[in-house]
Amino acid sequence: MVDEALRLIERAAAEGFITAPETLKRDPALSALRNHSQYPVLLRFAEKSVRETRAEWNSSASSVGLFSLTSKEQATRQDSIASRRRA
């Protein structure tokens, strides 16, 4: 069951849907994954993907003057950019 869950999460990532690191760390439904040998690799990949998406967003935000947004507004826009990347 755990191997299948990891396979599906990796498949989703290959299609552009990255599971948030916080979800991997805290979601009770994913607790069994945390003991799997591939979990650290999956978590590092998710963290790297989020960092890259934020960097891309920050780069594009500076070109359109979005620095006046609140942190919450920035996070919402980041999510929107990440969604478009997956599409």
pLDDT digits (tens, 9 = 90+) for 2-12: 899 999 998 99
Residue 38: the pLDDT is 92
Q: What percent of the chain has pLDDT over 90?
A: 40
Question: What is d(CA 85, CA 73) in angstroms, rounded to the nearest whole number?
Answer: 19
Band (pLDDT 50/70/90 cuts) for residue 63 is low
Domain count for the chain: 1
Residue 55: the pLDDT is 84
Question: What is d(CA 17, CA 58) in angstroms, rounded to the nearest whole number?
Answer: 20
Residues spanned by the domain of 75:
2-86
Could you tell me the CA-to-CA distances from 64 to 49, 68, 71, 73 in Å, in that order?
Answer: 23, 11, 16, 15
Name the pTM for this structure. 0.64
Mean pLDDT of 22-39: 93
